Amino acid sequence: MTSALFNEDNIVDDHGDLDVDNGGRGYMMDPKDWRDVEVDFMFKVKDYTSTNGFIISVGGGRHTNPQPFCEGSAYLLRLYYDGSTQMLKEQWHNNKVPIPFEDSNESPFPPGADFTEDGIIKDHIVTQRDVWYYFKFVRYNIKGLDGKTSVKLEAYLNLTGDKKTWERFYSVTDTSGWGRSGDECNGERDQVLNWGYPMVRIEWKNATRVDWFGLHVREIQPTAPIPEDPDDNSGGGGGGDPGGGGGGGGQPEIPPAEQPTGLVEKIGSFRFSIASALATSCDGIEPANPPTDPPPGGGDPGGGNPPPPAGSATVAVYWSDYWRVGS
């Protein structure tokens, strides 16, 4: 959530009253709602019982029944445990629609990707078992030549763990034509979800153990200049185009600059235990040994300690700063 937190009484779930191209107010709950954002985090799946995987959802507030539940609208990146990936549009909870790639003016898939009719990329990422991954999911508004507001979605993967060399493995723009049930929420049948929203959600299912680390949600300036890659000597500019266009000398795509759109202010810190309940504020007391980034090749965030003996319990305590973004 943003610093505005969540207030159900302020939610507007009528998509016709939200659409910025039709005089809508442009945010679902509060002027501080997320809109142009990037979400990134590191995770490792020890093992799983089915391939359901992770879902990163940008949009909406609560996602609940009865259906159609128009507050539960979002764009979703799904990361299956077997290495498959999929982009979905949730017009309302739980109406999830894959990319209509056969009608798209741009290919959302990297060259040579093996995909199915439901927009799933197969075998592009190795199986997610006991390997650290670093993903980035980006969503932002853009204006078309016709003056209409579209939504750009991009997904990146960093396998080296250096958080600098990225491969863009998904890119698609929702310009309409995606989905047929938006009129259930008083929008167009293929309504573009171009407004702000109070929540970003991450969920996973059917994993026997998940280690995750360094979750960030930040506002971005999508029109900010993209830094050039200093190692690219091809003369083609910074960042190649995995979709086949542009001259980046084959360098990985560099995502939009990580710049906030307004004032950033630290408003507090907290610590919590994965294995127990939320603790009270630490009142600014720094921990003696804060956790470090986990190694990309494996190991635990705390430094690769061996697993505890059978029958014992592990309590992991992490430290986090809480920031306010915006005015």
85-92/95-98 β-pairing: antiparallel
Q: Give me the pLDDT at residue 283, please.
A: 45
| 8-219 is a CATH 2.60.120.200 domain | yes
Provide the percentage of residues in the chain whose pLDDT is more than 70: 61
Q: With 60 as the cut, is the pLDDT of residue 267 above it?
A: no
Note the pLDDT of residue 247.
33
Please state the rounded mean pLDDT for residues 215-234. 74
Mean pLDDT of 298-317: 48
pLDDT of 21 above 70: yes
What is the residue extent of each domain of the chain?
Answer: 8-219, 265-327
pLDDT of amino acid 280: 43
The predicted structure's pLDDT at residue 323:
57
The model's pTM: 0.68
Highest mean pLDDT: which range of 101-105, 195-199, 294-298: 195-199
CA distances from 94 to 73, 89, 190 (A): 9, 10, 16
Residue 173's nearest CA partner among 146, 208, 209 is 146
Distance (Å, whole) CA 168 – CA 172:
11
pLDDT of residue 322: 56
pLDDT at 262: 45
Average pLDDT of the segment spanning 45-70: 88
What local confidence, expressed as pLDDT, does residue 77 receive?
92
Nearest to 135 by CA among 122, 149, 154: 154
